[in-house]
Chains A and B, each alone.
Chain A
């Protein structure tokens, strides 16, 4: 569409001199009055070229923007895939979704003008053929050779563009890291050190960009050379033919005029080369992300294999409304750096506390239950079936894991907590108190990175979000570390009521929370003990040492 409009724009432009000539001829013949109709024709031609440019430019801008948008969403889709396995840090992902997507979009945007230029070139070459087959053939060969040469040269830029994008991704990653850790930096007066580190990254990004800019300049020189060669060949061959009497004066002038007119199209076509190289370099980077293996198998995606080669064929077809309220959760898997086997069972309908004396190992439990990764050894089973045999989405809606460092997202409190039935959950997590202190209550906008709420307030909002989902099995990891003791006690009591008769696992060392649990499992190097908080406090020094501090 854009191509058609651009072509009609070019046609309109090429008609202007013709109409001008006719108007002056008319004036010479019959005086000023005879020019008037030609002026009308001129106006019509202007309307044609102006409108077709207007809509052509708009169409190609849309092509550019929506292509970039599609690529951006491709990056987002891969990033949020349930199976995980996304290695690049946030800043690098941002570069892929930002500048790489834009470069791919830019190529899509100029494709239309490139095509229009190609059409013009073909028409012109055909005209030349008609004037003089020899001239046409020579020009055809010449243009083909030049285009191939330029595209070959452009391809050599690809590696440079990749390096350039990598450099800006590194700088973006560092900038993001610095901004995220701003308070930490300010707290220790390390602003200068951070700024220096960024300057170093920015300089190496600059060097990569300067390298490609130098290569681009050489290519620009080459393009000028190629366009000039094209003109030279037409002038030389045309002149030689004409002076030899094999081409009429009129045809020579037309051929030269045509050649002159076409240099613009030729430059556009030559410009496609570097743009294409840029787009391909960025596309390769995006594809690397998109094709990266997932962290854990996603059974709902047929034919997709996890890194360990297990395929999805043995996955049972579990419906979304899978009832897990009577299912027990059997944990028998290696955790922690040392890979010690952790063995315990979460009874259905109970609130179970889990205390692991090794924090690293404790952190593995929620991660394994959320299937952030799968156990190296052993298995976790829900209702007797291994977690990895469940459809990921079904599993996560059944077993909801509220991670310790769960983030809130940019948006309103309401967006974050979910619209349905969250008032009750908010009360349970004492998040209603937090919300009432916010300037616009439920409609307060929480922005990313901004500490618009304190650590304790954020924990309470995140807990409310997890509770609001009312999953069959709820796993909480250290939900109240940033909350004061009085509030924590209130939350513990509320939680007990809210999750009455529903399977709940709380991984924590807080005695306030543990005292409200039906059962408490304590794990240390000697194995697991399944008892209650009071009994463990009374009987086990090791337990007391961990929780009472």
Chain B
């Protein structure tokens, strides 16, 4: 067997995974929450299993009748009894299925909902650590696997455990010495189970990760089909998908190899147990200690134990599989949000400005682990209420990271972002650089910011931002479906809607990250107006390459390599003849 090696990419950052204790606590917590349902489901399973024992009894009766040379009528009683048992058993099986579905399905659905809710609230860099594939794979694939394993194992375990008990009692009733003889198998079985649980856990865990990578590869392709077609990347994307898919397959097969070795060792244990019993029987028969009949029964009882015992042990395999998924889901759900550090003003400046300004105080942040390069270092910016501060710099200088920090999407590595000494949550809105349209109507997209907004309010913000004219011209106006699979909008139109949405939200501070960069003509002209409407009477941090946007700002901050290299008004910075003057020259050369 190939050793389980975590492939290179698996060592990359992924979303967190919970430990075993945590998973167990979740499962028992759920079982305790609905004890009645659990008991009823188990009861129904026991009845199903018990009714299964009616067949041997009935056949025994018939054989007995034959031995006693009774008439044909003697078969009627046992057959009717059997029929009743079958009927009850069938009803119990149906009930057991229904109850266990009621036990498992809602619990798992609730888990995936909690996971998604937790994931969207995580710091964005944590949530996106494994790419969207990691998270999507958890709420889809892992959930499927848990559901399957949980439903199967519950029913299997109950009926098999019942059968094991019955057989053991039978064995003991025949002669306690047979029970002793069967014991050598037990330590081997326990040892095998331990070995298996230890060696299969990493395989299952790696398999889940491989499925996450497969999901990422597939999503990357499925979400960018126009690019795939235009650049003729079909064969390359197919090859990448095939690679990740076969990688995931290889873990499944590896897991099966382990499982079959597990069952192989259990067979070995059975052989030893059966051998001991037969040897004991031979000795006992020889000494006259037992009858041939009793010995036969004992050996056959033991043979009858094989399948149920394997099933019971196999349930541990199911639990192991489900556990791998549950650990991944709980890891996200219960991820300790990095505690927002109680903002401690580190400089007099911040302490003094304990009014309602947005204070970015010596903030540093890095995406990678400690020791890697910082995306922004020691940045301090004050945005007074109603004032506009612009941030410029070449791409990759840390502007978008700064925007994310100011809006509370990331937790700063050091420093603080505060308003009046408190965290910014709920008082700062950000328009992200990448406009995203959610699948739904135009109105749905706007109402994300204010679910209670009525149609009149929707129309009002569209009118204020100048978007009403083109929205009205859409096939169904504000009820037109947009986003994936909907009516196509240009990047500029998407940004226009984002600005209108900001008005619905009406926050005291806004951060515009290239909010008017897309598409440059009819839409862009009204985008500039929309941006003005969205920032009027608000404090604003405006990130823009289109420098016409920043000229009027009260202060312009220039970033380079994650640090502030210049700050001042447009005129001051032009006079300084530094970075900004250089950018301005490039910008204005063809625009005057």
CA distance A478 to B524 in the complex (A): 13
> Interface readout for B21-65 with A: 1 if CB under 8 Å, 0 if not?
000000000000000000000000000100000011011001101
Chain A residues with CB under 8 Å of B438's CB are 177-178, 181
The answer to whether B431 touches A187, judged by C-beta atoms less than 8 angstroms apart, is: yes
CA distance A309 to B257 in the complex (A): 52
Residue of B nearest to A82 (CB): B229
What are 7 A-B pairs at a CB distance below 8 A?
A80-B229, A185-B120, A205-B109, A263-B55, A483-B395, A486-B586, A515-B589
Smallest distance from the beta carbon of A477 to chain B beta carbons, Å?
10
Indicate which residue in A403, A404, A445, A514 contacts B9 across the interface (CB closer than 8 Å).
A445
Chain A residues with CB under 8 Å of B491's CB are 404-405, 481
Indicate which residue in B75, B117, B404, B436 contacts A195 across the interface (CB closer than 8 Å).
B117
Q: A46-B271, A485-B545 are in contact. Are A186 and B409 (CB under 8 A)?
A: yes
Residue of B nearest to A101 (CB): B245
The answer to whether B583 touches A243, judged by C-beta atoms less than 8 angstroms apart, is: no
The answer to whether A28 touches B473, judged by C-beta atoms less than 8 angstroms apart, is: no
Given contacts A168-B140, A228-B87, A482-B514, 15 further A-B pairs with CB under 8 A are A34-B282, A46-B271, A69-B246, A89-B484, A98-B218, A176-B219, A194-B448, A210-B102, A213-B97, A252-B66, A260-B55, A393-B232, A448-B223, A450-B131, A466-B231
Q: Which of B77-109 contact A (CB under 8 A)?
A: 78-79, 82-83, 85-87, 89-91, 93-98, 101-102, 105-106, 109
Indicate which residue in B102, B140, B586 contacts A94 across the interface (CB closer than 8 Å).
B140
Q: Which of A55-63, A120-128, A136-144 lies at the binding interface?
A: A55-63
Q: Does B347 contact A (CB under 8 A)?
A: no
Q: Which of B107-166 contact A (CB under 8 A)?
A: 109, 112-113, 116-117, 119-121, 124, 127-133, 135-136, 139-141, 144, 147, 151
Q: Which of B216-261 contact A (CB under 8 A)?
A: 216-234, 237-238, 240-242, 245-246, 249, 252-253, 256-257, 259-261
Indicate which residue in A72, A213, A224, A240 contacts B48 across the interface (CB closer than 8 Å).
A224
CA distance A548 to B518 in the complex (A): 15
Specify which of B56, B227, B433 lies most central, judged by the most chain A CB atoms within 10 Å of its CB: B227
Chain B residues with CB under 8 Å of A28's CB are 285, 292
CA distance A62 to B136 in the complex (A): 26
CA distance A106 to B8 in the complex (A): 30
The answer to whether B521 touches A358, judged by C-beta atoms less than 8 angstroms apart, is: yes
Q: Does B528 contact A (CB under 8 A)?
A: yes
Q: Which of B298-312 contact A (CB under 8 A)?
A: 299-300, 303
CA distance A214 to B268 in the complex (A): 40
CA distance A547 to B524 in the complex (A): 10
Q: Does A97 contact B (CB under 8 A)?
A: yes
The answer to whether A39 touches B281, judged by C-beta atoms less than 8 angstroms apart, is: no
Chain B residues with CB under 8 Å of A221's CB are 90-91, 93-94, 97
Chain A residues with CB under 8 Å of B370's CB are none
Q: Which of A23-64 contact B (CB under 8 A)?
A: 23-25, 27-28, 31-32, 34-35, 38-39, 42-43, 46, 49-51, 53-55, 57-58, 61-62
Q: Which 6 A-B pairs have the closest CB atoms?
A: A456-B395, A217-B97, A228-B86, A221-B94, A449-B132, A187-B430
Chain B residues with CB under 8 Å of A546's CB are 520-522
Q: Does B587 contact A (CB under 8 A)?
A: yes
Chain A residues with CB under 8 Å of B399's CB are 454
Chain B residues with CB under 8 Å of A460's CB are 395
Q: Does B194 contact A (CB under 8 A)?
A: no
Q: Which of B196-204, B337-345, B498-506 lies at the binding interface?
A: B498-506
CA distance A518 to B227 in the complex (A): 27
Q: A256-B59, A445-B9 are in contact. Are A509 and B524 (CB under 8 A)?
A: yes
Chain B residues with CB under 8 Å of A65's CB are 249, 252-253
Number of interface residues, chain B, beta carbon within 8 A: 188
Chain B residues with CB under 8 Å of A88's CB are 485
Residue of B nearest to A367 (CB): B226
Chain B residues with CB under 8 Å of A62's CB are 253
The answer to whether A243 touches B71, judged by C-beta atoms less than 8 angstroms apart, is: yes
Q: Does B74 contact A (CB under 8 A)?
A: yes
The answer to whether B128 touches A486, judged by C-beta atoms less than 8 angstroms apart, is: no
Q: Does B414 contact A (CB under 8 A)?
A: no
CA distance A456 to B546 in the complex (A): 13
CA distance A533 to B73 in the complex (A): 107
The answer to whether A17 touches B303, judged by C-beta atoms less than 8 angstroms apart, is: yes
Chain B residues with CB under 8 Å of A256's CB are 59, 62-63
Q: Which of A149-157, A327-335, A406-414 lies at the binding interface?
A: A406-414
CA distance A66 to B512 in the complex (A): 49
The answer to whether B279 touches A35, judged by C-beta atoms less than 8 angstroms apart, is: yes
Smallest distance from the beta carbon of B291 to chain A beta carbons, Å?
9
Smallest distance from the beta carbon of B294 to chain A beta carbons, Å?
10
The answer to whether A87 touches B432, judged by C-beta atoms less than 8 angstroms apart, is: no
Q: A191-B120, A511-B591 are in contact. Are A396 and B56 (CB under 8 A)?
A: no
The answer to whether A193 touches B231, judged by C-beta atoms less than 8 angstroms apart, is: no
Residues of B contacting A: mostly: helix
The answer to whether B140 touches A188, judged by C-beta atoms less than 8 angstroms apart, is: no
CA distance A486 to B429 in the complex (A): 29
Q: Which of A57-103 contact B (CB under 8 A)?
A: 57-58, 61-62, 65-66, 68-69, 72-73, 76-77, 79-82, 84, 86-91, 93-95, 97-99, 102
Smallest distance from the beta carbon of A543 to chain B beta carbons, Å?
10
CA distance A515 to B485 in the complex (A): 37
Indicate which residue in A72, A189, A198, A454 contacts B116 across the interface (CB closer than 8 Å).
A198
Q: A175-B140, A228-B90 are in contact. Are A510 and B520 (CB under 8 A)?
A: yes
Chain B residues with CB under 8 Å of A53's CB are 260, 263-264, 267
Q: Does B519 contact A (CB under 8 A)?
A: yes
Q: Does A313 contact B (CB under 8 A)?
A: no
Number of interface residues, chain A, beta carbon within 8 A: 187
Specify which of B66, B279, B514 lies most central, judged by the most chain A CB atoms within 10 Å of its CB: B66
The answer to whether B490 touches A27, judged by C-beta atoms less than 8 angstroms apart, is: no
Q: A172-B140, A222-B90 are in contact. Are A456 and B396 (CB under 8 A)?
A: yes
The answer to whether A80 touches B279, judged by C-beta atoms less than 8 angstroms apart, is: no
Q: A182-B124, A359-B492 are in contact. Are A89 and B90 (CB under 8 A)?
A: no
Q: Does B547 contact A (CB under 8 A)?
A: yes
Q: Which of A232-249 contact B (CB under 8 A)?
A: 232, 235-236, 238-240, 242-244, 249
Chain A residues with CB under 8 Å of B109's CB are 202-203, 205-206, 209
The answer to whether B238 touches A190, judged by C-beta atoms less than 8 angstroms apart, is: no
The answer to whether A73 touches B279, judged by C-beta atoms less than 8 angstroms apart, is: no
Smallest distance from the beta carbon of A67 to chain B beta carbons, Å?
10
Residue of A nearest to B257 (CB): A58
Q: Does B423 contact A (CB under 8 A)?
A: no
Q: Which of A345-395 contact B (CB under 8 A)?
A: 355-360, 362-363, 367, 370, 372, 393
The answer to whether B520 touches A184, judged by C-beta atoms less than 8 angstroms apart, is: no
Smallest distance from the beta carbon of A232 to chain B beta carbons, Å?
5
Smallest distance from the beta carbon of A235 to chain B beta carbons, Å?
6
Chain B residues with CB under 8 Å of A526's CB are none
Q: Does B400 contact A (CB under 8 A)?
A: yes
Chain B residues with CB under 8 Å of A449's CB are 128, 131-133, 216, 219
Chain B residues with CB under 8 Å of A437's CB are 373, 396
CA distance A31 to B283 in the complex (A): 7
Specify which of A81, A193, A198, A228 lies most central, judged by the most chain B CB atoms within 10 Å of its CB: A228
Smallest distance from the beta carbon of A548 to chain B beta carbons, Å?
5
